[in-house]
A and B are shown apart, each in its own frame.
Chain A
Amino acid sequence: MNTESNTRLLVDTLTARRDDFLAQWARTVGEDLRGRLSMAELGRELGELYEALLRALSAGSLDSHGEEFGETRSLLIELSRNRARQGFTPTDTARSVFALKEVLEPSLTGDADSVRAYLQFSRLLDDLGLLTSEAYLRTREEIISSQAEQLLELSTPVVKLWDGVVGVPLVGTLDSARTQVVMEKLLQTLVDTDSTHAIIDITGVPTVDTQVAQHLLKTVVAARMMGARCTISGIRPQIAQTIVALGIEFGDIPTNASLSDALRQALKEVALDAEDDVRGLL
């Protein structure tokens, strides 16, 4: 008995009992996934996969890396990507493939020929199952690297709070590299939004030591050189006491306990400036 007759036996069996097998496969996988995927969607996915598998087998191949299985592989990769994004485990994903073995087992273990065919088919499914794990991992890596990028961008936002007022909510620690990014973004935003006030909020900075303070002061001085008035807000009681004990002096830089106080103050000043402007025109 050769590969050809094995595949013919497989194709015959898979074709003859298609609906039966498909329903059973979907049920088995559905139980594994415990209803986290709708049966209709699962049925469609597995149906497509089943047809692709059948077509490849009809072409006489049992080699999962072969050209005939190209369609099957791309369907599986797609399936794994979706599973990875939906938060299923790699086991859940690979089991979707392996479950077909269980389905076929009772009808393909009758005589020696069908056992051989079953074993070959089983090997094929093993390979395809491994493929899903690989695709799953690749997708997770893509997700992680895109999240890391997002985090870097998120960590230094400069936002326009009001006409003429921009805010810099700092979160985490402030080293030289971050200070550079914050400073560049702040100065550029001051120009772009034509703002006269900047509020640097340090509520999210857990430790204000001399290095952080020095970087903050530099940023404020740079913003002042652009003609902006700069306030540092979000000084919590324990931070205030620590700064005093350290001996850091913020000089004439206005500071506030909360961002809302700083914003209120800035808005007052913006309004005063506007009045002055109007009087100047008259």
Chain B
Amino acid sequence: MKDYAAASTSTETVPVATSGDVVSMRQTVRTLAQRCGLSLVHQTKLVTAASELGRNMLVYGGGGVVRAAPVVDAGRSGVFVEFRDKGPGIADLELALTDGWTSGNGMGLGLSGAKRLVDEFDIESGPSGTTVRIVKWGR
């Protein structure tokens, strides 16, 4: 997926190192979603997806950086969020994206659920870290 954050001038960057950071990152994403005119349902879905991915990054990747930016494409407007960590990476992406599978003690719905909550979902993972990029479009 294109790195929309790099192209945007109003990118917000939030480091996530504690669970308190997840809460403030969520607020940043919510504010951005409101500014981009996403409906309440779309806002809630995006924020929930961001919450899942942010917490995954914290629990499995040892924390990382979140970048969020508004995107406009072909008359639609939406929100782009990128989660980048320098953790050990995900060994089996297909397995990790399976409902109910977890390597920790969660519900095993975070990654797969987040994918369902957004319109575009892209994940790259290797031994040097994991990057997840999502876009949620407005109506």
Chain A interface residues toward B at CB < 8 A: 173, 175, 206-211, 213-214, 237-239, 241-242, 245-248
B107 touching A241, Cβ below 8 Å: no
Contacts of A247 in B (CB 8 A): 99, 109, 112-113, 116
B45 within 8 A of A: yes
Contacts of A239 in B (CB 8 A): 44
B47 within 8 A of A: yes
For this complex, 9 residue pairs linking A to B, each with C-beta atoms less than 8 Å apart, are A173-B23, A175-B19, A207-B26, A211-B106, A238-B45, A242-B44, A242-B48, A245-B116, A247-B99
Task: Identify which of residues 116-133 in chain B touch chain A, using a CB-to-CB cut-off of 8 Å.
Answer: 116-117
1/0 contact string of B13-32 vs chain A (CB within 8 Å): 00000010001001000100
B117 touching A245, Cβ below 8 Å: yes
Known interface pairs A245-B116, A247-B109. Does A208 touch B48 (Cβ–Cβ under 8 Å)? yes
B82 within 8 A of A: no
Shortest C-beta distance, A266 to chain B (Å), equals 27
Shortest C-beta distance, A155 to chain B (Å), equals 14
Shortest C-beta distance, B106 to chain A (Å), equals 6
Known interface pairs A214-B107, A242-B44. Does A207 touch B19 (Cβ–Cβ under 8 Å)? no
B72 within 8 A of A: no
Of all chain A residues, the one with the shortest Cβ separation from B40 is: A238
B48 touching A246, Cβ below 8 Å: yes
1/0 contact string of B93-110 vs chain A (CB within 8 Å): 000000100000011011
Among A175, A210, A241, A245, the residue within 8 A (CB) of B110 is: A210
Of all chain A residues, the one with the shortest Cβ separation from B51 is: A209
Among B44, B99, B112, the residue within 8 A (CB) of A207 is: B44
Among B99, B106, B114, the residue within 8 A (CB) of A214 is: B106
Chain B interface residues toward A at CB < 8 A: 19, 23, 26, 30, 40-41, 43-45, 47-48, 51-52, 55, 99, 106-107, 109-110, 112-114, 116-117
Of all chain A residues, the one with the shortest Cβ separation from B110 is: A210
Of all chain A residues, the one with the shortest Cβ separation from B26 is: A207
In the assembled complex, the Cα of A214 lies from the Cα of B110 at a distance in Å of 11
Of all chain B residues, the one with the shortest Cβ separation from A237 is: B41
Known interface pairs A207-B51, A211-B55. Does A245 touch B45 (Cβ–Cβ under 8 Å)? yes
B40 touching A209, Cβ below 8 Å: no
Of all chain B residues, the one with the shortest Cβ separation from A173 is: B23
A248 touching B107, Cβ below 8 Å: yes
Shortest C-beta distance, B14 to chain A (Å), equals 15
Q: Which of A210, A213, A238, A241 has the most chain B CB within a 10 Å cutoff?
A: A210
In the assembled complex, the Cα of A179 lies from the Cα of B51 at a distance in Å of 18
Contacts of B51 in A (CB 8 A): 207, 209, 211
Known interface pairs A214-B107, A238-B41, A238-B43. Does A207 touch B113 (Cβ–Cβ under 8 Å)? no
Contacts of B43 in A (CB 8 A): 238
Shortest C-beta distance, B18 to chain A (Å), equals 11
A207 touching B107, Cβ below 8 Å: no
Contacts of B40 in A (CB 8 A): 238
In the assembled complex, the Cα of A242 lies from the Cα of B48 at a distance in Å of 8
Contacts of B113 in A (CB 8 A): 210, 245-248
B55 touching A209, Cβ below 8 Å: yes
